[in-house]
């Protein structure tokens, strides 16, 4: 890392004084006899440079303040606008168990969201945590396999959700023959959130000090037991953080679900069909909101739905904060 400190303070680039010494000289010549001006010009120039520097500093400072203020204003505006328009639109009609085109109830979508997210996490968490355990605890660091897994995980993380949607449609819906269904949607989501869980779990495991592992081995435990009893418990808050992040992505996802889970506004009928309800099509809350907003017939209901989505996000953020605090405590 090479940061060359220039011993001579460079003149600010955009200074009219620095940019046009000719102009400055002309001014000096115009105003006073040359011998007097020369003596004066040095002092004036030093003072000008200092003043100029202070001005640039103030400008930079106010620019950062302004940017922060704009960010805060955007946040408050987005959240505030949705809340102000949406909260009055919340009505008991929206929370009925059956969706009809009259009540536009969001409760089925909410229930489907919960089922979908839990199913996706049930698929993704064991795989993601297992993969992270392998990378951190088993594999030799820097081996070719580890590098390949890292690269693919990074690639997965960068793939936009619409591509996941396309893949889910081609693979789970068509090739596996599951149709537009809860299961197809959950599997697609699971692949989508897998890198998030892997990444956070890896970081959490790496933060566990080696002395824990040495302690486990020293007591005669094998690797599996050491990992399960000594390492994993202290990594749990970090893993939970990843799970919450993943949950947030599941709740907000539309593009990956539109062509994998479909848009049927009903809760999958687990009571009636048992396990086969997995093959029912259902819409999550975000998909529900998208269809409402696109139809344009139920704008108030769309506001209300976005309020519910926002509240879910806020709850997840609060949960995240609690987990982060736990992590701080466990570090001490």
Residue recorded with tokens 């959130």: 193
> Is residue 298 close enough to count as binding other proteins by CB under 8 A?
no
Please state, in angstroms and rounded to a whole number, the distance separating the CA atoms of residues 323 and 326: 5
φ, ψ at 6 (rounded to 5°): -80, 120
> Min. distance of Cβ 248 from other proteins in angstroms?
5
* Minimum gap (Å) between residue 206 Cβ and other proteins: 10
The rounded distance, in Å, linking the Cα atoms of 56 and 61 is 8
Question: ∠ CA 148-260-129 to the nearest 5 degrees?
Answer: 35
Q: How far is CA 32 from CA 41, 46, 154, 286, in A?
A: 11, 19, 67, 74
63 touches other proteins by CB under 8 A: yes
Residue 221 as a binder of other proteins (CB under 8 A): the answer is: yes
Is 160 a binder of other proteins (CB under 8 A)? yes
Q: Does 297 contact other proteins by CB under 8 A?
A: no
Restricted to residues 9-48, the positions that interact with other proteins (CB under 8 A) are 9
Piece of 22-30, 52-60, 114-122, 235-243 that binds other proteins (CB under 8 A) = 52-60
Q: Is 275 in the site for other proteins (CB under 8 A)?
A: no
Q: Is 314 in the site for other proteins (CB under 8 A)?
A: yes
The piece of 35-43, 98-106, 165-173, 270-278 that touches other proteins (CB under 8 A) is 165-173
* Residue 134 binds to other proteins (criterion: CB under 8 A): yes
Give the whole-angstrom CA distance, residue 168 versus residue 185: 7
* Interacting residues with other proteins between 71 and 110 (CB under 8 A): 71-72, 74-79, 81-82, 85
Please name the residues in contact with 232: beta carbons below 8 A apart, sequence gap of 6 or more.
133, 205
**Cα 250 from Cα 121, distance rounded (Å):** 9
Q: Establish if 238 lies at the interface with other proteins (CB under 8 A).
A: no
Q: Does position 114 bind other proteins by CB under 8 A?
A: no
- Asked whether position 214 contacts other proteins by CB under 8 A, the answer is yes
Which residue among 151, 297, 311, 322 contacts other proteins (CB under 8 A)?
151
Closest by CA position to 106, among listed 330, 315, 293: 293
Rounded least distance, CB 218 to other proteins, Å = 8
Other Cβ atoms within 10 Å of 57 Cβ, number: 10
Number of residues engaging other proteins in binding (CB under 8 A): 108
């Amino acid at each position: 890392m090479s940061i060359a400190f220039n011993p001579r303070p460079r003149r600010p680039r955009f200074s009219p004084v620095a940019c046009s010494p000719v102009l400055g000289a002309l001014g000096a010549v115009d105003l006073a006899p040359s011998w007097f001006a020369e003596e004066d010009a040095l002092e004036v120039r030093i003072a000008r440079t200092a003043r100029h520097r202070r001005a640039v500093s103030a400008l930079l400072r106010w620019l950062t303040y302004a940017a922060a203020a704009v960010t805060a204003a955007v946040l408050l505006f987005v959240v505030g606008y949705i809340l102000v328009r949406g909260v009055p639109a919340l009505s008991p009609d929206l929370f009925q168990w059956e969706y009809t085109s009259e009540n536009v109830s969001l409760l089925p979508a909410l229930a489907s969201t919960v089922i979908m997210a839990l199913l996706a996490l049930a698929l993704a968490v064991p795989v993601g945590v297992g993969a992270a355990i392998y990378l951190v605890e088993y594999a030799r660091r820097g081996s070719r396999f580890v590098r390949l897994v890292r690269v693919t995980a990074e690639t997965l993380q960068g793939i936009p959700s619409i591509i996941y949607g396309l893949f889910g449609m081609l693979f789970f819906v068509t090739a596996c023959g599951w149709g537009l269904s809860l299961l197809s949607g959950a599997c697609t989501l699971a692949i989508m959130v897998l890198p998030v869980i892997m990444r956070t779990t890896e970081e959490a495991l790496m933060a566990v000090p080696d002395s824990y592992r040495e302690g486990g081995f020293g007591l005669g435990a094998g690797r599996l037991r050491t990992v399960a009893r000594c390492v994993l418990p202290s990594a749990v808050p970090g893993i939970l953080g990843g799970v919450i992040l993943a949950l947030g992505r599941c709740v907000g996802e539309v593009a990956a679900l539109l062509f994998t889970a479909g848009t049927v506004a009903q809760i999958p009928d687990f009571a009636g069909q048992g396990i086969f309800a997995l093959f029912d099509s259902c819409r999550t809350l975000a998909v529900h909101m998208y269809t409402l907003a696109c139809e344009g017939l139920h704008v108030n209901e769309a506001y209300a739905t976005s309020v519910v989505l926002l509240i879910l996000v806020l709850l997840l953020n609060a949960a995240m904060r609690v987990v982060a605090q736990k992590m701080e405590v466990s570090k001490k």
